[in-house]
Structure 1
């Protein structure tokens, strides 16, 4: 890797980190390119050397949030010995995301916040939908381990758990605390124990 590659990657990382903070705190529409480059400490041209447009930067931000959650889940799932614990790890990973050190406090799911600002035809909304579907697929896979002879029931229960999780995240965002996610986790455990 050349010195130029290192500088470019570093600038890209700094831009993405700055955008992630500003997009989450202020919203995508309210965050201009100048604010991102100023926060990243790079020249405006550096942004365009790394991202073709603000839309491309938004797409990278959405991908970053998705990967960040997957990493949180993977760490939790590694410590989960059973399918029930792996399901509860989904809730724990959402709680971990809610407990991150946000500059202006927790405002809810960064992906849903981003999707709310995008038009229905924008690729970013599709990426957020895919993330939510991937989370639900994790739930289905673990429930299929618990209910191997009833995939329909596993899918239905996964949808219920996904709705419980998303509702908890919305309330947690409104209240600025992960407490609702913890309550949803307890409800999910009760549902799973009833199986």
Structure 2
């Protein structure tokens, strides 16, 4: 899974064949197929693993006793941390969005990515709900999610994290204005 994740992120899921994965991992194809019924199953596992990695990073950044504003910023920090640890060969943007772009509409992997993005926005709204009204929290969470996704996309094009750090600073200013 680790090898597949690295290759899927660096080269894309479609461009990465099973032979390449097994050769780089030093395992037989049967070992891979004993754990994953198909390449599609492996791709979905990759998407779910990236989601779990991000959640773990978010939880490590978030302090449950910290002010709600810090919880919002922890979402941005988790994206920055995830970009740093998941891209030793250069940042290529959001691995989940990159994966979704390779999948057809209606694919299970695209739905998993959509759920991840919805969960991120829900986390933002939850923290913001402790600062402002529910309606304003939902609206601001949507704005911050759009800011975050735009920053991730541009950071991927630039191959460095400056845009994510900028977005975090903009988010901080938005929260302060609430």
Which structure 2 residues correspond to residues 37-186 of structure 1 after superposition, within 5 A? Answer: 37-78=22-63, 81-100=66-85, 102-147=87-132, 150-186=133-169
In structure 1, runs of 5+ residues without a counterpart are 1-15
Displacement, 1:103? Answer: 3.9
> Aligned pair 1:188/2:165, yes or no?
no
Kindly name which structure, 1 or 2, has the bigger radius of gyration based on alpha carbons. 1
- Which SS does the other structure have where 2:140 is aligned? helix
In structure 2, runs of 5+ residues without a counterpart are none
Moved over 4 A (4+): none
> Aligned pair 1:20/2:8, yes or no?
no
Aligned length: 178
| RMSD of equivalent CA atoms | 1.1
| Cα deviations by residue, 1:88-127 (Å, 9 ceiling, x for unpaired) | 0100110111212624211000000000000011100000
Displacement, 1:80? Answer: 6.6
For residues 167 and 54 of structure 1, what CA distance do their matches in structure 2 show?
30
For residues 49 and 125 of structure 1, what CA distance do their matches in structure 2 show?
24
Q: Are residues 172 and 59 of structure 1, via their aligned partners in 2, closer, same or farther at CA, if it must alter by over 3 Å?
A: same
TM-score w.r.t. the length of structure 2 is: 0.97
